[in-house]
Amino acid sequence: MKKLMYGTIVMLFISVGCSNDFVEIAPVGVLESDTFLNKEENAEQALIGLYDLMQYNYAKDWSSAYFLKVLPGDEANAGGGSSTDQPQLQDIDDYTNVSVSNASILSVWNLYYRTIALSNAIINKAEAGSLTNKQFVLAEAKFIRAYCYFELTTMWGDVPLRLTNPTELNAKAFGLAKSPRAAIYVQVKKDLIDAIAGLPSRGAVKQNFRVSNATAQALLGKVLVFEGKYSEAIPYLAAVISNPAYGLEATPADVWSVKSEFGKESLFELGYISTKGYDWGNVVWGGRMESNLHVQLMGPRGDGVFNLAGTGLINGWGFNLPTAKIVNAFQAAGDVNRKAATVMTEAELVAKGGGRAGSPWDYQGAIRTKYATRTSDTNEAGIQELNYTTNWRLLRYSEVLLLAAEAYNKATPNLDAQARIELNKVRKRAGLADVSPTLSGTALFDAIANEKFLELAFEGQRFWDLVRWGKASTELAGTGYTAKNNLFPIPVNEINLNDALTNADQNPGY
């Protein structure tokens, strides 16, 4: 008999804790599933536990969901100390030998399902209960569940769709077959429609890290664009665009500054702090940290390789290096301001007083300034490189503008004039001229796609866009990419331990 798969279940007793900059709420202890939603304060802490799990998934040792989404794209190389440094990440970056046992893929899969399991527990208990804030509790939990399932189906395709947690501890109860992506989309959209109805407006959100009804509108619009239902997406995206609570930051650099965290451009953001002042004695590597250690992983490599004098940056461990392709794309577009907020060429590094010695693995002539190892973003009470407060921006207003531009361009009937309006808003903030007023059709779509490449570089969107646009084979030619890389493999642990799955359920090519 197979054992029970932890990634797709929730324990009968749910343990929820917080270690983030979202809120100063004491960690929740152990809450019995039969009683923990009898009180509003318990429901509130359980909801915050969802954000804690999301934060953990994006910050866990070498297995950040952020890394997993970025590395297959053509704007980043894995980097690190050598071709064998964290091989599971090198394999994802190089598209070769991606194993069904890849530890990072398994971790992210499991943590999305752990988050879903807690969402299910909240939803199922709240639906049967009599909380005075029942609609809100259901809405917030459904948003998080929808977000996780959307990410899962984007990266893995057909996946198990569990909406009710098992109540018996046996293999049959926990076995669950895969559902087709179309069914996942149906459930995601249903959850998001409920979330829109039940979530508050931004001004009424309890803490700034929590989602609003506009966040749900934006995500639903994105889901519909990914599904190819462009005309249906437009009203949701347009509602966010016209919402006075949101807008573009003044400059590209402002988007990534500490002062703009949870700012007007942010629709969904995971926060980190540094109050504990971690050092090598108390750092919780692999556990739940309040700081964002992945920023350190991505800093320009130390060990005498990069001299960062004059940059305001600290040396890191050298992962997630820019490709020459993204640098060339900025230069070809004449995109000076946004480029400066995203990458720094070696010539620019030298001009500031720094430099490079040696030949770092995967280095192609630039370091990143987006999600960078800034001295100003750490806590001097501990070791600087362990205490970054950099937040992950998961959904931004500028992405909504570009999704809307795509939807207008692809809609029937065609609405290219409106597509140009939304596209030009993003270009104007970057300091670029409007596109030609006659640009339309495929040429306009190509301009939108290129704009998204530049605007959302290193944000985990590029590869998945290339796949759904059918552009991956062209844009990634010569990299080792093949069509099998369009999806990650279903973790072999899930197949081995889920009675309803067999090797025939594995994604093609693995």
Average pLDDT, consecutive stretches of 10 residues, N- to C-terminus, the chain (510 residues)? 33 35 34 68 93 94 93 97 96 95 97 96 92 95 98 98 88 91 98 98 94 98 98 98 98 92 97 92 87 93 95 95 98 98 98 95 97 90 91 98 98 96 98 98 98 98 98 97 98 94 97
Sign of CA dihedral 8, 10, 15, 18: positive
Inside any domain, residue 320: no
Q: Look at the chain and report how many structural domains it folds into.
A: 1
Q: Is the peptide bond before 413 cis (omega within 30 degrees of 0)?
A: yes
Instruction: In whole angstroms, give the CA distance from residue 149 to residue 120.
Output: 12
Report which residue type is found at 342: T
Instruction: In whole angstroms, give the CA distance from residue 444 to residue 37.
Output: 50
Inside any domain, residue 247: yes
Helical pair 213-226 and 230-241, crossing angle rounded to 10 deg? 150
Which residues form the domain of 258? 22-57+100-268+486-505
Inside any domain, residue 14: no
Q: How many CA atoms lie within 13 A of 311 on its CB side?
A: 30
What local confidence, expressed as pLDDT, does residue 174 receive?
87
Return the structure tokens found at 269.
């953001």
Inside any domain, residue 315: no
- How many residues are listed for the chain in this entry? 510
Instruction: In whole angstroms, give the CA distance from residue 277 to residue 453.
Output: 36
What local confidence, expressed as pLDDT, does residue 33 receive?
56
Inside any domain, residue 206: yes
Residue 200 near residue 212, CB atoms below 8 Å: yes
E-only strand ranges, 122-188 = 159-160, 178-179
Inside any domain, residue 154: yes
- pTM score, whole prediction: 0.93
Instruction: In whole angstroms, give the CA distance from residue 316 to residue 301.
Output: 5
Instruction: In whole angstroms, give the CA distance from residue 118 to residue 455.
Output: 34
Residue 278 near residue 416, CB atoms below 8 Å: no
Instruction: In whole angstroms, give the CA distance from residue 118 to residue 205.
Output: 21
Return the structure tokens found at 359.
């030949």
Instruction: In whole angstroms, give the CA distance from residue 305 to residue 61.
Output: 23
Inside any domain, residue 204: yes
Instruction: In whole angstroms, give the CA distance from residue 221 to residue 262.
Output: 21
What local confidence, expressed as pLDDT, does residue 36 receive?
67
CATH code (residue 26): 1.25.40.390
Residue 17 near residue 28, CB atoms below 8 Å: yes
Instruction: In whole angstroms, give the CA distance from residue 115 to residue 120.
Output: 9
Burial of 278 (0-12, 13-18, 19+ CB in 10 A): buried
- Measured from the Cβ of residue 71, the count of other Cβ atoms closer than 10 Å reads 23
E-only strand ranges, 380-476 = 392-396
Inside any domain, residue 116: yes
Of the candidates 415, 69, 406, the residue with the CA atom closest to the CA atom of residue 221: 406
Instruction: In whole angstroms, give the CA distance from residue 467 to residue 226.
Output: 10
